[in-house]
Amino acid sequence: MGAPAAESSVQRVTREDLGATWQAGCPVTPERLRRVGVDYFGFDGQTHRGELIVHQDLVPDVIAIFEKLHRLRFPIEKIQTVDQYPAADDELSMEDNNTSAFNCRRLPGSSMWSEHAFGRAIDINPRLNPCVFANGKFQPQNAEPYLNRHRADPGLIHSADPVVHAFAERRWQWGGYWKAVVDYQHFERP
């Protein structure tokens, strides 16, 4: 039996609403971002409400994807904006297994903006689905048990999983298919 129908909401955001996730020089203005409230199926088997900040152009995608994930009962530990963590620290958010979207930051070790800085990427259960670099390092730092991708823990993402298909149906790319950096948590729509 599927989960009850999910609900969603959409709000404009201001510079003040974004807190430390936005600063001068970000490649997207607050006026082009939206706060999307989504229902999600938690690890406790209950429906919860979370919020993601995404680019205004992607709001219909985000609503449809999260409605599908809720219907499929794909478990997500939590969804909250990264400004809930001190200094909008992405590592702290990932270590907390927080599913999130917008955070004006650059790619690790690069001067290039992450798709998160445009509001065009979402990380799902990041502690369970780490980002693994070619040199063997990984993020978040507490994700070592989940480097073993043969695990079948709820919330882990594998290539044949319905969560990958839910994003792919909307033309989002999955970082789990990348070669130089394999980013199991990451979905983006550049």
> pLDDT band at residue 108, thresholds of 50, 70 and 90?
confident
34-93 pLDDT, tens per residue? 999 999 999 999 999 999 999 999 999 999 999 999 999 999 999 999 999 999 999 999
What is the predicted pLDDT for the residue at 3? 53
What is the predicted pLDDT for the residue at 109? 80
What is the predicted pLDDT for the residue at 140? 98
Q: How many domains does the chain have?
A: 1
Q: What share of the chain in percent tops pLDDT 90?
A: 90
Q: Is residue 171 part of a domain?
A: yes
Q: Is residue 54 part of a domain?
A: yes
Burial class (CB in 10 A: 0-12, 13-18, 19+), 48: middle
Give the three-class secondary structure for 95: helix
In sequence order, the 6+-apart residues with CB closer than 8 A to the CB of 135 are none
> pLDDT band at residue 4, thresholds of 50, 70 and 90?
low
In sequence order, the 6+-apart residues with CB closer than 8 A to the CB of 140 are 91, 94, 95, 126, 127, 130
Q: Is residue 1 part of a domain?
A: no
Contact 100, 81 (CB under 8 A): yes
Q: What's the rounded Cα separation, in Å, for the pair 111 and 97?
A: 26
In sequence order, the 6+-apart residues with CB closer than 8 A to the CB of 179 are none
Per the structure, the complete domain to which residue 127 belongs is given by 8-188
- 179 has pLDDT over 70: yes
Give the three-class secondary structure for 68: helix
Burial class (CB in 10 A: 0-12, 13-18, 19+), 145: exposed
Q: Is residue 71 part of a domain?
A: yes
Q: Is residue 120 part of a domain?
A: yes
Closest by CA to 100, choosing from 119, 84, 81, is 81
pLDDT, mean over the chain: 94
- 5 has pLDDT over 80: no
Q: Is residue 2 part of a domain?
A: no
What is the predicted pLDDT for the residue at 90? 95
- 1 has pLDDT over 80: no
Q: How far is CA 178 from CA 104, 132, 182, 183, 187, in A?
A: 22, 10, 5, 7, 11
Omega cis (within 30) before 154: no
Residue range 149-172: mean pLDDT, rounded:
94
